[in-house]
Amino acid sequence: MTVFSHPEFDHHQRIVFGADASSGLRAIIAIHDTQRGPALGGLRIYPYASDDEALTDVLRLSRGMTYKSALANLPLGGGKAVIIADPRHDKPPELLRAMGRLVNSLNGDYITAEDSGSSEADMRVIAETTEHVGGLGHDGISGDPSPFTAKGVFCAMHSAVRHGLGRDDFDGLRVAIQGVGHVGAQLARQLHEAGARLVMTDVDRDALGQLAASLEADITAPEAIAEADVDVFAPCAMGAALSASVVERLKARVVCGAANNQLASPNIAELLKARGILYTPDYVANAGGVIEIAWQRRHDYRRDAVMSHIAGIETTLDEIFERARREDSDPSSVADALARERFRD
C-alpha cells in the first residue's frame, strides 16, 4: 500500500489508520483540508475487498467533501472515514465505541456523521466516546440527512434539465434511477410527484418492487439501467457508476444523481461532454445532507433557512453550467476550479 504516491492522494492534511483488537475495528480517517473549518464527512462501513480499495475510497470521498462544503458555502473542510466491515453483520456497539475513540483522538479536526452502511443509531453509539459527531438531530427532529440530500439532488436536476434539455419542469420527463436506497427512494418519490416517468433498478429486488409499484415505475436489471430510453440518468448507488463503457451506452442527455464519485476516472467528464451529455458534478448535487448537518451544529437552526440554503444548489449549478458553456469546458472541471478558488482563498 502506498499513500503519498497514491493516485488519489491530493495533499491530504492527515490520514489515520486505526485498529482495535478487542472489537475488530479496522478503519481509516482521511482529512483532506481544514482551511474553511473542521473536516466534516460521513462514516462509510463497507466490506472492502482490500485495504487498498478502502484507502482509495476514503481519499476520494474526503477530497469530495472539501469541494462539496466549499461550493455549498459552509464553514467546513472535508474529511471522511471508512470501516472495513459488513454493516449487516459486523458493527457491534464495541466496534462503534472504538471508532468514536479514534475520532476523538483527532481533537475535533474531523467530525463524523451518517453515511452508507451507518445510521443515526450508530452515530448515537459513537457519540458515547466522542463529541465530534454530526447528524444526531435535535428537538425531536431526526438527524437522518438523506431527505435533505434527495431534496438537493431534486433542485440540482431542475438546473440540469434546464441547461441540458431546455425545459423548466419534470412533467413527462423520463428518469432512470440507479439505486433506490434511502436517498434514491426519496428522490424517486419527489420526481413522481412532479410528474416524471421513472425507470429504476436496485440489487434489493424486494424493496425495488414495492417502491416501483407505489410509483407506477418500470423496473430493469442493474446491468441494463444505462441503456434505458430516458432523458436523465440518476446514479444513486455506489461510486464509479460512469465508466467509459457505460458512457458509450447511455441514452440519457443529462446525468444528475446522488452517488459520490460517479466518474470512474477524471477523463470520463470529457467523454460525456464529447457525447453531448450534460454531467452534474456529484458533490454539488448531493450537498443537501451536509448542509442540514452543518445547520444542526448552529444555535440558530431553522428549517426554512436550511431548505433555502439547499435550494441554492440550483443557483450554484446555473453558474457552473453557464461558465462551462462559455469556456467550452466540462462542468466537472469548472466545479473543481470554483471549489479550489473558494477553499484556498
Q: Where in the chain are the domains?
A: 3-128, 145-286+314-344
pLDDT classification of 157: cutoffs 50, 70, 90: very high
Residue 1: pLDDT above 70? Answer: no
User: 254-275: per-residue pLDDT in tens?
Assistant: 999 999 999 999 999 999 999 9
Give percent above pLDDT 70 in the chain: 98
| CATH number of this structure's domain 3-128 | 3.40.50.10860
Residue 209: pLDDT above 80? Answer: yes
Round the average pLDDT of the chain to a whole number and report it.
Answer: 95
Q: Is 255 annotated as contributing to ligand binding? A: no
Give percent above pLDDT 90 in the chain: 89
Q: Which pTM was predicted? A: 0.91
Angle among Cα 226, 228, 232 to the nearest 5 degrees reads 80
pLDDT on residue 142: 65
Q: Is 134 annotated as contributing to ligand binding? A: no
Residue 92: pLDDT above 70? Answer: yes
> How many Cβ atoms are within 10 Å of 308's Cβ, its own excluded?
10
pLDDT classification of 343: cutoffs 50, 70, 90: confident
Average pLDDT for residues 206-222, to the nearest whole number? Answer: 95
| CA–CA separation, 287 and 313 (whole Å) | 8
Task: Report strand pairing: 197-201 vs 77-84.
Answer: unpaired
pLDDT on residue 190: 98
| CA–CA separation, 128 and 100 (whole Å) | 7
User: 20-59: per-residue pLDDT in tens?
Assistant: 999 999 999 999 999 999 999 999 999 999 999 999 999 9
pLDDT on residue 53: 95
Q: Is 183 annotated as contributing to ligand binding? A: yes
* Class (C level, CATH) for 145-286+314-344: alpha beta
Residue 135: pLDDT above 90? Answer: no
Average pLDDT for residues 120-135, to the nearest whole number? Answer: 95
68 given a catalytic annotation: no
Residue 251: pLDDT above 90? Answer: yes
Residue 286: pLDDT above 90? Answer: yes
Q: Is 153 annotated as contributing to ligand binding? A: no
Can 3-128 and 145-286+314-344 be said to share one CATH topology?
Answer: yes
| CA–CA separation, 171 and 191 (whole Å) | 9
Of 68, 80, 151, 273, the catalytic one is: 80
| CA–CA separation, 11 and 109 (whole Å) | 16
